[in-house]
Amino acid sequence: MFSQKTISPPSHHTPPFLDKAVNSFSKGESTNSVQHDYDPRLERAWRKIDFRVVPIVAIFYLLAFLDRGNLGNARVAGMQKELKLTNHQYTIALTVTFIPYFMAQLPSNLILKRVGPNILLPAMLTLWGIITTLQGFVKNYTGLLVCRFFLGVFEGGVFPGLVLYLSFWYPREALQKRVSVLFSTSSLALAFSGLLAYGIVRMDGVGDRSGWSWIFILEGVFTTVFGLSGFILLPRSPQHSRFLREEEKAYILSRLCTPTAFKEEESFSWGEVAKTYALPHVMMIGISLFFSVCSSIIHGGLALTPSTSFSPTIIHDLGYTAVNAQLYSVPPFALAFV
């Protein structure tokens, strides 16, 4: 669990409702009676967060999709032929990623609450960047499976962790827009994946390595470097941020002091998990997602993201060269982002 840090109310002309909000939040008391007065001057704090936190979080998620989906680009660039993979083995290499991916989501969020998002999220990014880089050095099917498995381990907690992290900063009514921005970067990542692969495959033969190896190596190195920088760039919470004034921190806390807002002192309860799964809309979303995944498996061969790893192959099979197939996979995902 996070250790609760008490923030002293700013001493310069702080509105009374801010003092009340901070005191109630710090003591863990009910905040239903706190009046969340609108202050146009302090509302600029949200814009600061939009420019300082959301871009970093969006890049985290973009890199997750980029490193998970580049296997399809590597396949067209010659990976399957060089590693002597059958179509069935390629599909297994894709699917094995999602076994630990699903299993890691809940435990990773529990760990996030204990060690802090400013530690866990950059750590996961750094580790999966290293795994992505190692994929460029695999020599056989077994090595590829091992890399894909651990890629799922470290990427599994990314999306739920990033959404939980954003809930530290925004009230529920403001959170959805930021989550939609976060999720839209997945399409942007897939567009970048084809564009980067188009240029990287031209490095075929450099350092006695195939072009497909360089796709993994270069993208993995960038992810690793950005992950390491995340330990410096990513603030733990509004209370620990350096770019917000004390008055702005207090205002944000006052807006977060609602029964539905996340509080750092909250403990985990399996009973609450059971109640969540019993909600009708959660059950409906789960059922619809289940059948959507089944449809993906039947028509694409890969749960969740069939187009990610098969669109370059489909374009290549239409008669285009391997290099042009990478480029022509860009427009659909670029349009999806828009």
Residue whose structure tokens are 């997602």: 289
**What is the greatest pairwise CA distance in the chain?**
71
Other beta carbons within 10 Å of 94: 24
Give the chain's mean pLDDT.
Answer: 79
Residues in the chain: 338
Does the CA dihedral 27-29-35-37 come out positive or negative?
positive
- Which of 218, 220, 173, 184 is closest to 200 using CA atoms? 218
**Confidence (pLDDT) at 222:** 94
Instruction: Give residue-wise pLDDT tens across range 181-239.
Output: 888 887 788 777 788 888 888 898 898 899 999 999 999 999 999 999 999 999 998 88
Distance CA 125, CA 119 (A): 10
pLDDT at residue 70 tops 70: yes
Over residues 95-108, the pLDDT tens digits come to: 898 889 888 888 88
CA angle 34, 35, 39 (to 5 degrees): 130
- Residue 158's identity, in one-letter code, is V
CA nearest to 105, candidates 306, 304, 335: 304
CA separation for the pair 240, 5 (Å, rounded): 9
